[in-house]
């Protein structure tokens, strides 16, 4: 990494090769590596966590959260 205070080497971790391969494959084929359902579920989980935290740790119904945001079609199968 190059910066205004010098150069730093990254030790271990940070191997982005698999991620870059998936991104390249997506651009070539147009097929996302993750389904729409999985993507929506992930975002709903994160939104539910934020809601729960803001309400002192209360339980959040993730399927209901998905439905209330227009994603009910994902839950039909």
Residue pLDDT tens, the chain, 77 long: 778 888 877 777 678 889 999 999 999 999 999 998 999 999 999 999 999 999 999 999 999 999 999 888 888 86
pLDDT at site 77: 66
- Count how many Cα atoms sit within 13 Å of the Cα of residue 73 in the half-sphere of its side chain: 2
Q: How far apart are CA 14 and CA 27, in angstroms?
A: 22
pTM of the model: 0.65
In DSSP notation, 38-63 reads HHHHHHHHHHHHHHHHHTTS----HH
In the prediction, which pLDDT does 4 show? 87
Question: Can you give the pLDDT at residue 9?
Answer: 77
């Amino acid at each position: 990494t190059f910066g205004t205070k010098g150069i730093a080497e990254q030790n271990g971790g940070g191997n982005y090769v698999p991620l870059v391969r998936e991104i390249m494959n997506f651009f070539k084929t147009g097929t996302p590596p993750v389904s729409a359902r999985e993507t929506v579920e992930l975002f709903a989980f994160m939104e539910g966590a934020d809601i729960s935290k803001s309400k002192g740790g209360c339980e959040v119904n993730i399927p209901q959260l998905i439905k209330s945001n227009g994603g009910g079609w994902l839950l039909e199968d």
